[in-house]
Structure 1
């Protein structure tokens, strides 16, 4: 079982107000740096096989903050790779002519409603515009390629963007891209997916706090169902339906986490 930790970059000065897309030179602001440092501390006890990032600065800075808390150098995924490996396929959707525009302006564009209600039909305007379905295809291909490269025992991290992570989660859940707007991925949130031979298991989505030890695969016990099989009847309530999986993300005090800040795009 390969476990993928998907991390959205931390806040920038314009997150949620301007559609950055592939705008270069936009890094984390003080809030984003604090978010990245806090998440890095949470994940310090998880020995990551690899850390892979979108090439955009806000993601690289988030990924590097996590890498710096990993202690002793981990085995690198290939010769001459840096601590954080860049994969363009995890880059933001190419929003074309929408890039750099304020959200208040974009919400008045007729295409906005299509983005919300029928995203699989969207191709962003301009010569550099990308179809959302193509964004999903390249992102999922990147995850699958890294899974194969790193092997079934790997726990690795991919730092990317809201729409990209939402599209990966939709694929793992087996739901149509047109439903991906129902998924929330907040800045510097953690999403975990465990890929088995038969199917992916979505372990956490939009997790913003709490323990992470249960993200490591649990040791198998005699008589356990075959790897990748869902537990009939819902399991014991400790790990959901996924082998070695974690339950619902909960806030301190035991209450399920909510999903605030819907619709924020970056």
Structure 2
């Protein structure tokens, strides 16, 4: 028995790519992101989605709502396991500011071992998303499930499926409002589609 997972990165907020949003409150979708979320709803309506799980961040919840409406899913489950990496003091800083921080450079050069100011590593992120996928698979066998999350969380899951070190997350992209599809079963997991744009 298998479960199909659609790993969906939140749609764009107004300043995506200019600063590190992390777990900051009040980071919401801009007009472009709202249009992307509506497109995601239309795309996901073609799939028999049985459940939707979502990060606690505003931008992921705003992305999940049009999907739930389009798919007829009445409730969105909020999951801490899907939350953005806890970047601590780095949250809210521009990437220009961060590039002058030795800790930030170490984080990007040594993702296997480096920790954010809050103490989280990519392996920590990978463990929480893989544990969630395993638990959800047990409850939703032979069904399709949407997980609405963040780029690095999705990258950690993909690295696990492909048997790549977590530090190899830079070898592929996860764009805003993209869909990455994996199938998971007792035999393991396989990647079906990576970074599909609705």
The equivalent residue for 1:134 is 124
Unmatched tracts of structure 1, length 5 or more = 75-81, 210-266
The residue number in structure 2 matching 1:170 is: 159
Higher strand content, 1 or 2: 2
Deviations 1:73-129 (A, max 9, x none): x5xxxxxxx61110111000000110111111112212233223220111112xx34
Q: Give runs of aligned pairs for residues 105-120 of structure 1, distance below 5 A.
A: 105-120=97-112
Q: 1:46 & 1:131 partners in 2: Cα distance?
A: 33
Pairing 1:95–2:87 present: yes
1:2 aligned residue: 3
Structure 2 residue aligned with 1:14: 15
* Aligned Cα root-mean-square deviation (Å): 1.3
- Structure ranking higher on relative contact order (CA contacts 8 Å, 6+ apart): 2
Query: Rg larger in 1 or in 2?
Result: 1
Would you say the 8 A contact 1:96–1:130 is kept in 2?
no
Per the TM alignment, residue 164 of structure 1 is displaced from its structure 2 partner at its CA by 0.5
Aligned equivalents of 1:116, 1:182: Cα separation in 2 = 12
Q: Does 1:191 align with 2:180?
A: yes
**TM-score of the two chains, using structure 2 as the length reference:** 0.95
Unmatched 5+ stretches in structure 2? none
Q: TM-score, normalised by structure 1?
A: 0.71
Q: Does 1:104 align with 2:96?
A: yes
The 10-residue stretch of structure 1 (114-123 or 175-184) with the greater mean CA deviation from structure 2: 114-123
Other-structure match for 1:158: 147
2:50–2:145 Cα contact (<8 Å) kept? yes
Count of matched residue pairs: 197
> Once superposed, which parts of structure 1, at least 4 consecutive aligned residues long, lie more than 4 Å away?
none
SS in 1 for 2:60: helix
1:39: how far off? Answer: 1.2
- Residue 60 of structure 2 is matched in structure 1 by 59
Quick check: which one's helix share is greater?
A: 2
